[in-house]
Amino acid sequence: MSSVAADPMDPAPGPTQAGLGARISRQLQASWKLCVIAVPYAWMLIFFLLPFFIVFKISLAEPLIAAPPFSALFDLTEEGIVTIRIILDNFLFIFEDDLYIRTYLNSVKISTISTILCLLVGYPIAYGIVRSGEMARKLLLMAIILPFWTSFLLRVYAWMGLLADKGTINNLLISIGIIDEPIRMLYTDFAVYLGIVYTYLPFMVLPLYANLEKLDSSLNEAAADLGAKPIGIFFTVTLPLSIPGIVAGSLLVFIPATGEYVIPDLLGGGNVQMIGRVLYNEFHQNKDWPVASAVAIALLFLLVVPMMIYQRYQAKEAEKV
Amino acid sequence: MAGVPNLADTPWLDPSSEPFIRLRGVTKKFGDFTAVNNVDLDIYKGELFCLLGGSGCGKSTLLRMLAGFEVPTSGRIMIDGVDMSDVPAYERPTNMMFQSYALFPHMTVEKNIAYGLKQEGVAKSEIADRVDEVLGLVELTDFTKRKPDQLSGGQRQRVALARALVKKPKLLLLDEPLGALDKRLREQTQFELMNIQDQVGITFVVVTHDQDEAMTLSTRIAVMDAGNFQQIGTPTEIYEFPESRFVADFIGNANMLDARVTEAGTDHVTVETALGTIRTEQGIQVQEGQKVYLALRPEKIHLAKAGDPVHEGNMQVTGHVEDIGYMGDMSVYKVLVNGETMIEVTAPNLTRPKQRSLAITWDEEVVLSWHSNSPVLLVR
């Protein structure tokens, strides 16, 4: 842009002035760029990195009956020497007591199964939306996003009302005479799976939709032209090309579902142990902040692996474009 | 294909030969829009048939109906004597080379080409043999393990062609096969495409908007406009004997003049135009006084400096050079005749610019002349 002003072909007087203006505007531009970049960095620093270090610090402390309920990491003794007390007991403890590993594995199991269920339900939905007309597509996408407009907590409570022994579904089934005794649905694994699949389905559908929508429809025609039947086309062309969407959707479901607290607590009651609930109990019932922090840090590192896989896929996708 | 024409090379002239592809009353509507309007067409075995027209003329829709991607609103399509009405795309004896090539991005060149054979359930060893054979044909033997995004545009085009050829279809459909290639590669590939067609002996139907491509490649061309065929004929017929102003204008350039018939003979017609009275050696059904159009191709006009000798017996007019477009191999001259009619003339640049004195320049008085069989009279 600024090179236009400094064009040597320009016979107008005062080229140095134009050059100076260009330099100033370039500098302004550079500092403006810095501002723009600084905002998200500052945000990450203040709201993510700093809390992380606070939690990390607590995880290396000792529980105390005081306020705050943990020992200080740095201490200034009377002689004026700074001592640092790092206690790794909390991390050792979560590996000693099999409660943590058991609930963690249970969380992984539940979120894995939920992810597969989300994929099985979400793929046909995403595929159907892509294949429908322009108007219907907009409406269906809206329907997928619409639940986000009400509180997540409210929707989970609504499920409690639906699934309870004296809830809507049981009442309906009894009143039309299909069953005599209410079916126990609330506070079971079933309710937790239902809740997770219901809540996280949009996170599966939207990336899948974005992926399937980009697929070149002439590839389907080419496959049909070469003799593939519709079902064959799906398995040889559409499915392999939608793997990036499947990976993105699955990780977007799997990662938050593993740490899920509200759904297992409200829909699973005490019967379904997930790591999120253990974490909550550690903080609020046992008041053992250091152990709770250690669990949180361990959980974070266990989830970093799938997140890195996701990042890698994203980067690969970006490269293609 | 060159040489003495005989009926084996021109089956469309032989009333006893059976067309390989037969379209009868084929119409395709998209809502209110009629893409293809009640067309009949016969294509014979071994032809390289071009559907030529501008965008939206219905040529691609016609091709897609042959492939089975679109169902005709009415009419019938027969391929090799079989009615295609209820045959889905995946069961048709046709293969298509897509304009975008539509190569499977997740498969190697080899797998792309083998895809069609796998669907057919061909034995593995045979697949390998046939893939090798067709890779040799398109000269891509060294690229079998590459993915499409690791190939150049020209190589992708060859893979697409190989993938369509490997199934040995009865009919190969090519949608703008050379459209995505640059000019030099396109010219080179045109001839390769003709050679390949000669070798495999498959009937080709090519859709193109490029008249040069159609002229070079085809045995016959169908010029399409607004869902209808304007003219079907060999490249020579289409170029030298256009039947309508649309065709004369679409294929090559033509000076188009309004004309009125003054004398209608059996072997010649004389018309009155802005250039004066012009005699044409063309026996067409016209009456005296009828309004017609006269088309005169720029390269059929001889350009000479005023006073230079002109071919005996040629029709001639004088004019004034208004503009010259230098194209390298030839130049385009805009000559104003009678101070009102602009006539375009092309002439090869036989001399170099250094011999300027020989060349015709701006603002020069010139003589335009042509043989009386050069102009074409058009009634529509």
Residue B4 — pLDDT band, cuts 50, 70, 90?
Answer: very low
The answer to whether the CB atoms of B89 and A221 lie below 8 A apart is: yes
Residue A269 — pLDDT band, cuts 50, 70, 90?
Answer: confident
Could you give the percent of chain A with pLDDT greater than 70? 93
pLDDT in tens, B178-217: 887 888 888 888 888 888 888 888 899 999 998 888 888 8
Alpha-helical regions (H) of chain A: 15-44, 50-59, 89-96, 98-131, 134-145, 152-163, 168-175, 189-214, 217-225, 230-233, 239-241, 243-258, 262-268, 275-284, 289-320
CA distance B242 to chain A (A): 36
CA distance B234 to chain A (A): 29
Pairing of strands B48-52, B203-208: parallel
Whether B17-248 shares its CATH topology with B302-371 is answered: no
- Interface residue B246 vs chain A (CB under 8 A): no
pLDDT at A80: 77
What element of type H or E holds B325?
A: strand B315-326
The answer to whether the CB atoms of B105 and A241 lie below 8 A apart is: yes
Whether the ipTM is more than 0.90: the answer is no
The answer to whether residue B107 scores a pLDDT higher than 90 is yes
pLDDT in tens, B161-189: 999 999 989 999 999 988 878 888 888 88
Beta partners for B295?
Answer: B256, B376
Burial-class residue B46 by CB neighbours within 10 Å (0-12, 13-18, 19+). middle
Which is more confidently placed, B357 or A234? A234
Alpha-helical regions (H) of A69-97: 89-96
- Interface residue A319 vs chain B (CB under 8 A): no
Q: Which range (B221-225, B299-303, B347-351) has the least confidence?
A: B347-351
CA distance A239 to chain B (A): 11
The CA–CA distances, whole Å, from A44 to A55, A252, B340 equal 15, 20, 76
Beta partners for A75?
Answer: A83
Total residues found in chain A within this entry: 321
Average pLDDT over residues B22-46: 92
Nearest Cα residue to B165 out of B231, B114, B103: B114
- Picking from B100, B149, B167, the nearest residue to A226 by CB comes out as B167
Give the burial string for A292-320 (b: 16+ CB within 10 Å, else e).
bbbbbbbbeeebeebeeebeebeeebeee
Q: Which residues of A, range 66-95, sit inside 8 Å of B by Cβ? A: none
pLDDT at A315: 78
- Picking from B90, B100, B167, the nearest residue to A224 by CB comes out as B90
Q: Is pTM beyond 0.90 here? A: no
Burial-class residue A81 by CB neighbours within 10 Å (0-12, 13-18, 19+). exposed
- Determine the Cα–Cα distance for residues A14 and A21; give it in Å rounded to an integer: 11
Which is more confidently placed, A68 or A250? A250
The answer to whether the CB atoms of B96 and A225 lie below 8 A apart is: yes
pLDDT at B350: 80
- Determine the Cα–Cα distance for residues B217 and B1; give it in Å rounded to an integer: 11
Average pLDDT over residues A8-17: 50
In terms of CA atoms, which chain B residue is nearest residue A243?
B106
Domain boundaries of chain B, sorted by first residue:
17-248, 302-371
Contacts of A320 in chain B (CB under 8 A): 149
- In CATH, the architecture of B302-371 is Beta Barrel (2.40)
- Picking from A216, A232, A240, the nearest residue to B102 by CB comes out as A216
Pick the CATH number of B17-248 from 3.40.50.300, 3.40.50.2000, 3.30.70.600, 3.30.70.1230: 3.40.50.300
The answer to whether residue A208 scores a pLDDT higher than 90 is yes
- Determine the Cα–Cα distance for residues B374 and B248; give it in Å rounded to an integer: 13
The answer to whether the CB atoms of B102 and A219 lie below 8 A apart is: yes
Which is more confidently placed, B278 or A76? B278
pLDDT at B127: 94
Contacts of B164 in chain A (CB under 8 A): 225
Contact status, residue B296 vs residue B314, Cβ threshold 8 Å = no
Q: For all residues of chain A together, what is the average pLDDT?
A: 86
The answer to whether residue A12 scores a pLDDT higher than 60 is no
- Determine the Cα–Cα distance for residues A87 and A61; give it in Å rounded to an integer: 6
Q: Sign (positive/negative) of CA torsion B91, B94, B97, B98?
A: negative
With tokens 């085809």, the residue in question is B218
The answer to whether the CB atoms of A224 and B89 lie below 8 A apart is: yes
Q: For all residues of chain B together, what is the average pLDDT?
A: 87
Contact status, residue A178 vs residue A208, Cβ threshold 8 Å = no
Instruction: Give the A:B interface size as CB pairs under 8 Å.
Output: 59
pLDDT in tens, A131-178: 998 999 999 999 999 988 889 999 999 999 999 988 899 999 999 988
The answer to whether residue B67 scores a pLDDT higher than 90 is yes
Q: Which residues of B, range 162-181, sit inside 8 Å of A by Cβ? A: 163-164, 167
Contact status, residue B116 vs residue B163, Cβ threshold 8 Å = yes
Contact status, residue A208 vs residue A126, Cβ threshold 8 Å = yes
The answer to whether residue A14 scores a pLDDT higher than 60 is no
